[in-house]
Amino acid sequence: MAITPGVTNFDKNKLYFYATASTENEKLLIGVMTNPQDESTFELVETIDAPVVKTLFEVSFPVNNLKPYIVFRHGLQNTSSSIRLDDVEWKDVTVAVKPNPAVIVYPLADATNVDVMNDVILSWSSGGGEPTGYKLSVGTSQAQITNIFEGDLGEATSNAVLNLNYNTKYYWKVTPYNAQGDAENVPIWSFTTMPNPTVSTFTWNEGFETVATHYHGKYNYMYPMGWSLENNNDAHLSWTTIANSASITTNAHTGTRAMHLFSGVAFLLSMDDWFFTPPLDLKADHKYEFSVWYKATVYEGATSEKMKIVVGTDNNSVAMTGDVLFNDEQITVEGYTKFTKQFVPTNDGINYIGFHGFSDPYQWILFIDDVSIKDLGVVGLDELETVECELYPNPATDEITLKMAEVSQNANYTITDVLGKQIQQNAISNNLERISLTEYQSGIYFITIENAGKIITKKFIKH
């Protein structure tokens, strides 16, 4: 317990203080005592959820309270955690005053290399003086501090700023207010964003050895600059780096670090977390070779992980509509395994590769390391035909999918058996045409596609 000297004026004063906890879900008990040497005189006034981010709190006491000693008491939800207090103030609130300036949280004043691959979440906390709201201004200079954003955010103490440019200095100001007016002498803060991370030279390798701390509102994650996250489920858990230790030397495939996605704490929730490469400047007439090393930690032989790797046009899940490079819903391999896939991008210019962990509840840990992309050069005519028309899976069982880069007005396909007998013929109306094979006998078949003046024949096997 931390106990203040004896105080008075419980009918006029309130208690103000900053608190932060080393772990989640800690409780801070605020109470009063008659005798600081006698724990039995403790009387609880308020229970506070202690946050992991330094936060200002305000506590009122019963006006008829006769116990003069104010007590801060750890709730002991986790006996190995700590709660830190700062700037404790016993303040007369009957005198109305304007609020104090806000306290900066993120990004810190004059910060550089600020990550803009995800939204920049400007964050602050109350500086005291009982603010009832905050006005936020963001601009590209002190003279133009409102040309990016200006607004009254009410009681919110954070705001996401979208679409900031690379390598640019921005200025921002938070103005607390209450019924007595705006805070005075409000500082203007600044930060400079990261350099352009676009990858345009291949071969490109990423071993996750050099990482930075990335602020995502309430939680921080560690990964290289230029990469980005989409966390769609448990906010506390997402892709982050993991290092080898004296007791575990196999977390990384090479070097000392890898990326991992952990679901062991949030047992009740499925994974739904994307991890995106930096922007990749790819050419639509080139073939690339993608590779990654991956593994899982299996808990008592009963868990497995799910991961899909997809090419897309932006660093968000909605844009992950390109080639599926990898899709395994039963990852149980506990030693690093290399996966390699060649692909030709359908989009010329900026692309992203997204790693989607989507394991079921009650699973364990997924790892990736040593991502590589090689440029294999310009594709030949026969390879371009493969790009224009893909058939998968092959062999197939119940259904086969015909994927077309473009579909002309009179496009069609014809399926024949090994004797040349026509089995099926249909028009092609979509870029993805799903063909049912449930009525087919097992064997070898040929599909002939007519599209945009070209005729392509492919073989497939029905199991």
**Pick from 66, 92, 118: which residue ends a domain?**
92
Q: What is the CATH number of the domain that holds 67?
A: 2.60.120.200
**The total number of residues written for the chain in this structure:** 463
Q: Which of 336, 361, 378 is the last residue of a domain?
A: 378
Rg of the chain, C-alpha, whole Å: 30
**Residue 167's CATH number:** 2.60.40.10
Separation of alpha carbons 227 and 259, rounded Å: 12
Check whether residue 385 and residue 374 sit in a common domain.
Answer: no
| Domain enclosing residue 420, as ranges | 381-462
Contact predicate 373/290, CB 8 Å: yes
The answer to whether position 301 is within a domain reads yes
In terms of domains, do 239 and 112 share one?
Answer: no
Per the prediction, the chain carries an average pLDDT of 92
Q: Could you tell me if 211 and 349 lie in one domain?
A: yes
Cβ atoms of 277 and 260 closer than 8 Å: no
Q: Within a 10 A sphere around the Cβ of 187, how many other Cβ atoms?
A: 11
Same domain, 437 and 305: no
Other beta carbons within 10 angstroms of residue 82's beta carbon come to 12
Q: Are residues 130 and 63 in the same domain?
A: no
In this predicted model, what pLDDT tens digit does every residue of 1-15 receive, in sequence order?
Answer: 999 999 999 999 999
Our count of domains for the chain comes to 4
Q: Is residue 371 part of a domain?
A: yes
Query: Do residue 346 and residue 402 come from a single domain?
Result: no
pTM of this prediction?
0.69
Are residues 20 and 158 located together in one domain of the fold?
no
For the cut 50, the answer to whether the pLDDT of residue 203 exceeds it is yes
CA distance linking residue 190 with residue 110, whole number of Å? 5
Residue 278's identity, in one-letter code, is: P
More confident of the two residues 138 and 433: 138
CATH (domain of 387): 2.60.40.3080
Q: What is the predicted pLDDT for the residue at 94?
A: 86
Residue 199 lies in a domain: no
Please check whether residue 69 lies inside any domain of the structure: yes
Q: What are the backbone dihedrals phi and psi of residue 386, each rounded to the nearest 5 degrees, phi first?
A: -65, -40
Query: Do 369 and 397 lie in a common domain?
Result: no
* Dihedral sign computed on CA atoms, order 329, 332, 334, 339: negative
Q: Answer yes or no: do 123 and 182 share one domain.
A: yes
Domain boundary among 378, 402, 425: 378
Tell me, what's the pLDDT at 381? 47
Amino acid (1-letter code) at residue 362 = Y
Tell me, yes or no, whether 302 lies in a domain: yes
Among 24-33, 46-55, 100-109, 387-396, the range scoring the smallest mean pLDDT is 387-396
Q: Which residues contact 29 (CB under 8 A, 6 or more apart)?
A: 44, 46, 47, 48, 71, 72, 73, 74, 75
Looking at the structure, do residues 262 and 290 belong to the same domain, yes or no?
Answer: yes
The percent helix, strand, coil of the chain (3-state, each to 5) is 5, 50, 45
266-291 residue pLDDT tens = 467 889 999 999 999 999 889 999 99
For residue 98, being part of any structural domain is answered with no
Mean pLDDT along residues 197-218: 94
Tokens found for residue 237: 């858990």
Are 284 and 312 part of one and the same domain? yes
Q: Is there a domain that residue 97 lies in? A: no
**In-domain check, residue 40:** yes
pLDDT given at position 267: 60
| Confidence bin at 222 (pLDDT 50/70/90) | very high
- Judge if 390 and 418 occupy the same domain: yes
Which pLDDT tens digit goes with each residue over 348-389? 999 999 999 999 988 999 999 999 999 999 875 454 455 467
Q: What average pLDDT does range 329-339 have in this prediction?
A: 96
Residues 6+ apart with CB under 8 A from 416: 422, 423, 445, 446, 448
pLDDT exceeds 80 at position 124: yes
Residue 448 has pLDDT above 80, yes or no: yes
